[in-house]
Structure 1
Amino acid sequence: MRKGEKTRQHIIEKSAGLFNTKGYAGSSIQDIIDVTGLTKGGVYRTFAGKDEIALEAFDYAHKVMTEHIVRAAEKGETALHKIMAICAVYEDPVYNLPIEGGCPLLNTAVDADDGYLPLRKKAESAHGQFTSFIQSILDAGKAVGEFSSDLQTEALSSFIVSSLEGGVMTSRLTRDNKHMGFVIEQIEFVLSSYKRKKE
């Protein structure tokens, strides 16, 4: 990797944690300079400004989260196990998530809702990808008879993603992971209720 590419990646990675902690609106170019240790010229030689950095920083943060989620799912032998393995990625949102500052999807969705539209679109796309991935696991489980035929996979995948993101928000707000624990317990309960009984 060339020096310019290393500098670019350094800015992206450091800014990802910054935006995820302070938010897009709450972060300034000076904050980016501070976390990267670069000069103002060093930042502007690489990026046109904060908007461009924010988009690439979100892509990076989303990629990191997605890699953790996919690796977790690959460990599960059944659809239920895969979903619960994904839930385990989120079990400690107060102290331990793959990206500094919490879940980038949740933070960006809230922060960019009425602000920077291109960033909001990035979050919307990430939400769709996450929901579709969960639905694909549920569809596969339904297809092999793990779940009953009345399982509505689109609805349940939306419920699971919404519940996980809500659990992150509540746990980080209260600094208490018990709320995420409740969410994970209920997701497992709902999934188990759709398990097809062996004849």
Structure 2
Amino acid sequence: MRQSKGELTRQRIVETAAPVFNRRGYAGASMAHLMEAAGLEKGGLYRHFESKDALALAAFDHAVRLSGRRIRQCVLDGGPSAAGRLLGVAQGMATSGLDPSVPGGCPLLNTAIEVDDPSLDAENSLYPELRLRTRRAMNDLLRVVRRIVDEGVASGEFIQDVDADAEASLLVATMEGGLLLMRLYDDPAHLRWALQRIEDRGMQLTRRSSRRRVPTVPTKRTRSR
């Protein structure tokens, strides 16, 4: 369906505002910054968005949508194995630091840090909604990892007693930590190490699964299972 001129303008405003918010933060991005990025006067912005907060929420959703699209593509590129797809999730997250879909880095990490303190809600009424949306987006990411792990277990690739919740938390925490350290020290080695740990973990689960599938003949030194 063809978009109207107004819809195209609204989309362009969101696309230009997302990097401003992602780089400067939602509190730090002024209307002047947003107007300069969009090439519009204040009235032009308010013609399409009732407030700065409304634009901020649309920009956050846009940034998360692009990031999720990148992760999904990396999962597909990971191939049919569960271990490969887990690494694909990690690689997709890594691109938020190395080649972000929206300039400024991982929108989930940036927003989670900014809205971390609920005591600031009285000063910035946008933060509760941003916190809620960040949690929802993170839940979606964790759900993707859990599904891959469950599928790996179902196919026999992974061990039967693997904890999908724990694996999802481990992967996301490892990668977000790697992104944070990379930015703090301006050193991509932290991200490479995080990716290596995720790859090692996938191989570990697969190797352990393979060993368990090999039939064994009970002897005096081998306990039957």
TM bin, normalised by shorter chain, reads over 0.9
Q: Pick the aligned partner of 1:78 from 78, 81, 106.
A: 81
Q: Pick the aligned partner of 2:138 from 127, 148, 159.
A: 127
TM-score computed with the length of structure 2 as normaliser: 0.84
Q: Pick the aligned partner of 1:108 from 74, 94, 111.
A: 111
Q: Pick the aligned partner of 1:137 from 148, 152, 155.
A: 148
Structure whose alpha-carbon radius of gyration is higher: 2
SS in 2 for 1:150: coil
Shift of 1:50: 1.2
Shift of 1:154: 0.6
Does 2:165 align with 1:154? yes
Shift of 1:93: 4.9
Structure 2 residue runs without a partner (length 5+)? 122-126, 215-225
Whole-angstrom CA distance in 2 between matches of 1:170 and 1:133: 24
**Larger displacement relative to structure 2 (111-120 or 74-83):** 111-120
Q: Pick the aligned partner of 2:33 from 31, 34, 50.
A: 31
Alpha carbons 1:89, 1:97 under 8 Å: kept: no
| Residues 121-161 of structure 1: CA deviation (Å, up to 9, x unaligned) | 11010000000011101110011110011211111101101
Does 2:110 align with 1:99? no
Whole-angstrom CA distance in 2 between matches of 1:132 and 1:91: 18
TM-score computed with the length of structure 1 as normaliser: 0.95
Q: Which amino acid aligns with 1:131?
A: L
Identity %: 35
Q: Which amino acid aligns with 1:9?
A: Q
Q: Could you say which structure has the greater relative contact order, defined with CA pairs below 8 angstroms and 6 or more residues apart? A: 1
Shift of 1:194: 1.5
Shift of 1:94: 4.5
Whole-angstrom CA distance in 2 between matches of 1:144 and 1:58: 36
Q: Which amino acid aligns with 1:105?
A: L
SS in 2 for 1:194: helix
Give the equivalent residue in structure 1 for 2:67.
Answer: 65
Alpha carbons 2:179, 2:191 under 8 Å: kept: yes
Whole-angstrom CA distance in 1 between matches of 2:10 and 2:132: 23
Shift of 1:95: 4.0
Shift of 1:22: 0.7
Whole-angstrom CA distance in 2 between matches of 1:90 and 1:130: 10
**Larger displacement relative to structure 2 (89-98 or 138-147):** 89-98
Whole-angstrom CA distance in 2 between matches of 1:137 and 1:93: 21
Alpha carbons 1:93, 1:177 under 8 Å: kept: no
Shift of 1:92: 5.2
Given the superposition, is the C-alpha separation of residues 150 and 164 from structure 1 closer, same or farther in structure 2, using an over 3 Å criterion? same
| Residues 55-89 of structure 1: CA deviation (Å, up to 9, x unaligned) | 11111111101111111111221011111122222
SS in 1 for 2:83: helix
Whole-angstrom CA distance in 2 between matches of 1:64 and 1:93: 10
Structure 1 residue runs without a partner (length 5+)? none
Give the equivalent residue in structure 1 for 2:220.
Answer: none
Alpha carbons 1:33, 1:43 under 8 Å: kept: yes
Alpha carbons 1:20, 1:104 under 8 Å: kept: yes
Aligned residues: 199
